[in-house]
Chains A and B, each alone.
Chain A
Amino acid sequence: MGLLTVLKKLKQKEKEIRILILGLDNAGKTTILKRINGEDISTISPTLGFNIKTLDYNGYKLNIWDVGGQKSIRSYWRNYFEQTDGLVWVVDSADRPDRFADCKAELHSLLTEERLAGASLLIFANKQDLPGALSSEEIAKLLDLKAIQTHHWQIVGCSAVTGDNLLTGMDWVVTDISKRIYMLD
C-alpha cells in the first residue's frame, strides 16, 4: 500500500473538508463565519490576516479559512489555495455599482488557478436584508456565472445578520464536495 493511498484513507476516515472563504473587502466573510459558529458579530474588525474555524457539520469536520479581502492584502490569497475542497465567494449584494466589476474580475481570475481546479464553488449573495440588495439572479448576471464551465457552482442569497440561508449554502457546498471526494471514490 503506497503512502498516497494511506493518506487518502486517513482523510476518508476523518471526513475532513477544507473550505476557503474569499471575496472583496466588506463582503461579510468574517461575519458569515462567526455567525455560522454562533459567535458575537457586533464588533468584528476588517481582517488583516485570516481566521480559521473547525466545526463538525453533518458528520464532516470542516476546516474553514476566512482571509482578509482588502486590496493591499489580496496578493496573499494564493497562500491559502492548497488542498481547498470548496471555495465560498462572498458578495456584498448592496455594494457600490462600480465594485461589481472588481468582484467579477477577482472571482474569474481565481477560477483559472490550478490549485483551486477541483474545488466546488458557492457564491453567497450576502446582505439580502438590506433594502438596496440585488437579488441572487442579478448578482449571477453581474458576475457572469453562466460562463463558468470549470467548477461546480451554486449561488445562494443570504444574510449574515439574520442568518437566513447560510445553512442552505453550506449544505450545498458540503454535499457537493462529499459526493466528489468521499462517495465516488
Chain B
Amino acid sequence: MAAHADVKLAAAAFCADLKQECDALTQTLGQPNADRTAVLTRLSIALKSLTEATVFLPAYDQRACAAMLKTISDQLTTAAPARAKFTFASRKAKSSTPAAGPPESAQPLAEQRLPPPQALPPAALAPRPTARQICSNRNCYIAPPPVPISSAESSTSSDVEVADLTRCVVSLLDLHVGALHLKNLDRCVLVVGPIAGSVLVESCRNCVFVICCRQLRIHNSVGLAIPLHIASHPIIEDCSALRFGLYPRAALADFASVERFEAARIDPNPGASAHKTVEDFCWLKRGQSPNWVLMSSDDEHACGTEAMALATSSVVDEQALMDSLDALVARFSVA
C-alpha cells in the first residue's frame, strides 16, 4: 500500500517535471536564433527519462507525456522551413502561367527519341533479375524501352538504379518506376514520370532532375536543380547548392497524366506538392538552411521544360545534344 502511494507520487512528480521541461523547450523554440540542436539533445534526454519512467507511469500519463514530447518534436521539424510561407493561391497562380505554350510538336513523343537505347542488359549487372540498372556510361542519350505491361506486373512497378554516369541525358518517361536510386551522376539530365515510392539521390553533382514521387531523400550531393512534384517533405543530408522548383506539368502531359498519378497514388493537384518544404537534416538551427533555395518561377519553368525537351528531343546529332546538355547544366545546376 505504502509502495503504491510512492509510485503514484513518483508518477505525478515525473509528469510535472516533464511538463516544465516541455514548456521551457517550447519557449526556447519560439525565440529567434534558438539553438535547435540543443533542443533536440534536451528532447532526447527527456525522451529517455520518459522511457525509463514507463515502468511506473500509468498508461494514461505515458501517453500524455509522449504527446507533449511529440509536440516539441513536431515544432522542431516544422519550424525550420516555416519562414518560407506560401499560400496555395500563389502556387496556383504560378502553375497556371506555364500551361500556356503548345506542346513541342504534334508528333507522338515516343517517336522523337534518338535511336540507340543505352540501357545495359539487366542480367549482366543487376543482382536481382527484375531490378533495372543503368550504369557506367558517358556522353550519351539513354532511354530504356518501355516495359510491356504484362498482366502479372500491371499492379507493380520495378525499382530502377541509375549509377556512375557522366554527361548523359536519361529519359525514364516510358518506365513505370517503383523506387529510383540515383548514384554518382555528374552533369546529367534525368526526367521521370510519377513514382509510387522514393527517389534516393546519393553523391550527385551538377545535374538537373525532373522528378515526381512520394518521397525524395538526397545525400552528399552538390549543385542540383530539381523541378519536383512530391507527396511529402523532401529531405537533404550533407548537401549544398540545391535548387527546387515546380514540376513542369504542362510539358509532361503525356507522361504525367492523371492516370499515371493515380497509378502511383499521388495527388496530382499542384497545390498538394510539398516541394517547398525541404528539410535539411544537417541544419536544425532556426532560419533558412544555406544549402537549398527555391527557384524563381521563371527559372523553374525554363529548367523543367528545357530538361523535358532535351529528354524527348528529336535531335539526332550527338554533338548538338551534348551542347544543349552542357548549356542546361551550366545555367541551372552549377554550384
* Closest beta carbon of chain B to A125's beta carbon, Å: 13
Instruction: Determine the chain A residues whose CB is within 8 A of the CB of B128 once the complex forms.
Output: 94, 132-134
- CB pair B179–A94 under 8 Å, yes or no, is yes
B-binding segment of A71-79, A105-113, A144-152, A168-176: A71-79
Cα–Cα distance between A72 and B62 once the two chains are bound (Å): 28
A residues bordering B, Cβ < 8 Å? Answer: 1-3, 6-7, 10-11, 14, 16, 18, 25-26, 42-46, 48-52, 54, 61, 63, 70-73, 76, 79-83, 94, 96-97, 129-134
Closest B residue, CB atoms, query A1? B3
**B51 in complex: contacting residue of A6, A82, A131, CB < 8 Å:** A82
**B235 in complex: contacting residue of A50, A70, A96, A133, CB < 8 Å:** A70
Known: A72-B282, A134-B128. 5 other contacts (CB 8 A): A43-B231, A45-B232, A50-B70, A51-B70, A83-B52
Q: List 25 A-B contacts (CB under 8 A).
A: A1-B3, A2-B3, A10-B56, A11-B55, A26-B198, A42-B214, A42-B265, A42-B266, A43-B231, A44-B232, A45-B279, A46-B232, A48-B279, A54-B62, A63-B62, A70-B237, A71-B219, A72-B238, A79-B44, A79-B45, A94-B128, A94-B131, A130-B158, A131-B156, A131-B159
- CB pair A25–B158 under 8 Å, yes or no, is no
Q: Which of B131-167 contact A (CB under 8 A)?
A: 131, 153, 156-159, 161
- CB pair A61–B59 under 8 Å, yes or no, is yes
Instruction: Determine the chain A residues whose CB is within 8 A of the CB of B6 once the complex forms.
Output: 3
Cα–Cα distance between A52 and B71 once the two chains are bound (Å): 12
A contact patch SS: loop
Cα–Cα distance between A73 and B73 once the two chains are bound (Å): 13
Tally B residues with Cβ within 8 Å of A.
58
* Closest beta carbon of chain A to B148's beta carbon, Å: 14
Instruction: Determine the chain B residues whose CB is within 8 A of the CB of A81 once the complex forms.
Output: 51
- 4 pairs of A and B residues whose beta carbons are closest in the complex: A132-B131, A49-B73, A131-B130, A45-B232
Instruction: Determine the chain A residues whose CB is within 8 A of the CB of B197 once the complex forms.
Output: 130
Closest B residue, CB atoms, query A94? B159
Cα–Cα distance between A64 and B238 once the two chains are bound (Å): 30
Question: Given that A6-B4, A45-B232, A80-B47 are known contacts, is A26 also in contact with B200, CB under 8 Å in the complex?
Answer: yes
Question: Given that A48-B279, A94-B179 are known contacts, is A80 also in contact with B51, CB under 8 Å in the complex?
Answer: yes
Per-residue CB contact flags for chain B residues 297-332 toward chain A (1 = under 8 Å, else 0) read: 000000000000000000000000000000000000
B residues bordering A, Cβ < 8 Å? Answer: 3-4, 6-7, 40, 43-45, 47-48, 51-52, 54-56, 59, 62-63, 66, 70, 73-74, 76-77, 127-128, 130-131, 153, 156-159, 161, 178-179, 181, 183, 197-198, 200, 214-215, 217, 219, 231-233, 235, 237-238, 265-267, 274, 279, 281-282
Closest B residue, CB atoms, query A20? B51
* Closest beta carbon of chain B to A69's beta carbon, Å: 10
- CB pair B76–A48 under 8 Å, yes or no, is yes
Instruction: Determine the chain A residues whose CB is within 8 A of the CB of B266 once the complex forms.
Output: 42
- CB pair B54–A83 under 8 Å, yes or no, is yes
* Closest beta carbon of chain A to B90's beta carbon, Å: 21
Instruction: Determine the chain A residues whose CB is within 8 A of the CB of B181 once the complex forms.
Output: 96
Cα–Cα distance between A10 and B62 once the two chains are bound (Å): 14
Centre residue among A1, A14, A49 by max chain B CB count within 10 A: A49
- CB pair B156–A96 under 8 Å, yes or no, is no
Instruction: Determine the chain B residues whose CB is within 8 A of the CB of A25 once the complex forms.
Output: 217
Instruction: Determine the chain B residues whose CB is within 8 A of the CB of A70 once the complex forms.
Output: 217, 235, 237, 281
- CB pair A18–B153 under 8 Å, yes or no, is no
**A131 in complex: contacting residue of B70, B74, B158, B214, CB < 8 Å:** B158
Cα–Cα distance between A44 and B217 once the two chains are bound (Å): 13
Cα–Cα distance between A110 and B130 once the two chains are bound (Å): 32
